[in-house]
Amino acid sequence: MKECRLHGRGGQGGVTSAELVATAAIAEGKYAQAFPSFGPERRGAPVAAFIRVSDRPIRTREKVYQPDIVVVLDASLPKLVKVSDGLHEDGIVILNTALDEKSVREVFGIRSRFARVDANTIAREVLGLPITNTTMLGALLKATGIVGLDAIDDALDKRFGRLAEKNKAAMRRAYEETVISG
């Protein structure tokens, strides 16, 4: 089983991203869960979402405390939240940042393997909005292969209808531009 925790801010689409991955996994014949964790937060407040994907039925229903994968939609969050808390030793952090490898390690204190992509720039250029959720899906898929691009394409079509093409373009560009380190 692969467990993933997404860190974002209210309104960035982290919960939607989790649902899209779970939908894609189920379409591939896997078992999956996706669920959020937030209270009465307002737009812009830190939120988390969780994903589990497995080849076997998933019996646990709790938050993901020891993720294999951490996705960070907003580069300001590692300064507020310990995003790598509980990360498995061989886990990976996937960051939305324009920083280089050395700077990521210094600024965020990331010791594990990580992947990085400038999702903000891609989202603004392709979507016309600074909403990075579908863009970060491209980085997640490249770094982990948790689900296939075709399955995510189908999930995006179902979720976004006529807006799916722009979201798929942002996702594919991020897939191409994601750099995996360490």
List the domain boundaries for the chain. Answer: 2-181
pLDDT tens-digit readout, 78-106: 888 888 899 999 999 999 999 999 999 88
Distance from C-alpha of 24 to C-alpha of 21, rounded to nearest angstrom:
5
pLDDT tens-digit readout, 109-134: 888 899 999 999 999 999 999 889 99
Query: Exposed, middle or buried: residue 65 (CB in 10 Å: 0-12, 13-18, 19+)?
Result: exposed
161 Cβ contact list (under 8 Å, min separation 6) = none
CATH placement of domain 2-181: 3.40.920.10
Say how many residues make up the chain: 182
DSSP code for 127: I
Torsion angle defined by CA atoms of residues 92, 97, 99 and 105, in that order, rounded to the nearest 10 degrees: -30
